[in-house]
Amino acid sequence: MTNGTLYGVGLGPGDPDLLTIKAARLIANAKIVAYPAPVGGTSFARSIAAHLIPVNAREIVIQVPMTLERAPAQAAYDLGATAVRAALRNGHDVITLCEGDPLFYGSFMYLLARLAPDFRCEIVPGVTSLSAAAAALRLPLAARNDALAVVASPLSDAELSARISESDTIAILKLGRHLPRVRTLIDSLGLTQNAYYVGHATLSDQIAVPLKDAPETAPYFSLLLIAKGVDPWL
């Protein structure tokens, strides 16, 4: 029997209309879907594509503990990969649902690392939260020969400062509890008037505002954009 193919399917930032035609077709024809969900919570990835998942599709839920240590999550991906591996061995394709783009700060790479050596894998790229945030702000991410830096907010102030100082546009992702610290840093660099906050891009509760008007607390799925050279058209 021929092994099945592992698909990593990008779903875009949240608005189901931002799925690609290819992603929508793969999901609508899926016999097996897989996706991560926080232990005890619902899967954001599944919620984006819920309207497309066939009612009789099998669903492999990878229950990921939301801990700061990496070992429990990696153990969850070991378990998930074992279930996916069995399905692939039985000749079934597995459609893995991935928020945003599968290879841009995505957890799909943990499945990929475990299964790519043994199975055919195909990635369907998706619209990133970064592109969605820029669209909400109408702010160019990069023009002409601009340099764009993309970083995660847990980096140290020194690392963030270095990336900010060197690039034309800087995106700081995964804000969450780091917002107050990052906001203070940006202010100390004199860049608050160049900075914008986007939370829950493309969802019904999207916020896209200058940093000075940002809320005090930010969800994990939020980001800052700092644009030195261009103005957005809010």
From 44, 88, 99, 131, residue interacting with a second copy (rule: CB under 8 A): 131
Q: Which stretch binds a second copy (CB under 8 A): 53-61, 80-88, 130-138, 212-220?
A: 130-138
Residue 189 makes contact with a second copy by CB under 8 A = no
Give the 3-state secondary structure of residue 204. coil
| DSSP 8-state secondary structure symbol assigned to residue 169 | E
Distance CA 28, CA 18 (A): 15
Residue list 154-183, contact with a second copy (CB under 8 A): 154-155, 159, 162-163, 166-167, 174
Q: Shortest Cβ distance from residue 184 to a second copy (Å)?
A: 19
From 132, 186, 195, 208, residue interacting with a second copy (rule: CB under 8 A): 132
What are the tokens at 15?
């608005």
Residue list 88-117, contact with a second copy (CB under 8 A): 101-106, 109, 112, 116-117
Q: Tell me which residue of 116, 109, 92 sits closest to 36, measured CA to CA.
A: 109
Distance CA 123, CA 152 (A): 23
Distance CA 137, CA 106 (A): 23
Q: Shortest Cβ distance from residue 154 to a second copy (Å)?
A: 5
Cα torsion 163, 12, 15, 37: sign? negative
Residue 53 makes contact with a second copy by CB under 8 A = no
Residue 145 makes contact with a second copy by CB under 8 A = yes
